[in-house]
């Protein structure tokens, strides 16, 4: 797992715990693990993460309206803050596409220009 993926997992964990609470975050992680998507696998399985998040939190009627989309946008925004890049998306995002574009942008940058030390991220 590269630095970007480590940071992504850390941001997902922090944001999920902040938004849903520690207990609900652990329930979500257990659910994802049963669906073959552990926390460490999320960077490679962004679509599975998004689909299962929508399945669990809901996406439409009878469930928390838009909770999955809101959590995904909050994760994306928090990741941008950690990377010190602007988050200027208007409206819903396709989480997997957005994260991949963000990662590709930074994988193309040199190590000198993209210095993210995961241990120093709070």
Residues 6+ apart with CB under 8 A from 63: 57
Indicate the pTM of the whole model.
Answer: 0.83
The pLDDT value recorded for residue 92 is 82
Predicted confidence pLDDT, tens digits, the chain (122 residues): 889 999 999 999 999 999 999 999 999 999 999 999 999 999 999 999 999 998 888 765 555 667 888 899 999 999 999 998 889 888 789 999 999 999 988 777 644 454 444 344 44
> What is the CATH code of the structural domain delimited by 3-111?
1.10.1200
All structural domains of the chain with their residue ranges: 3-111
Q: Which of 31, 92, 22, 35 is nearest to 56 (CA)?
A: 31
């Amino acid at each position: 797992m590269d630095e970007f993926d480590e940071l992504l997992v850390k941001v997902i964990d922090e944001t999920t715990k902040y938004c849903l609470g520690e207990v609900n975050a652990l329930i979500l992680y257990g659910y994802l693990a049963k669906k073959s998507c552990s926390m460490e696998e999320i960077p490679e399985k962004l679509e599975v993460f998004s689909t299962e998040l929508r399945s669990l939190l809901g996406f439409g009627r009878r469930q928390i309206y838009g909770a999955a989309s809101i959590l995904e946008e909050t994760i994306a925004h928090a990741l941008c803050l950690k990377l010190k890049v602007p988050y200027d998306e208007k409206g819903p995002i396709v989480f997997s596409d957005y994260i991949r574009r963000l990662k590709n942008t930074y994988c193309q940058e040199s190590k000198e220009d993209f210095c993210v030390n995961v241990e120093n991220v709070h």
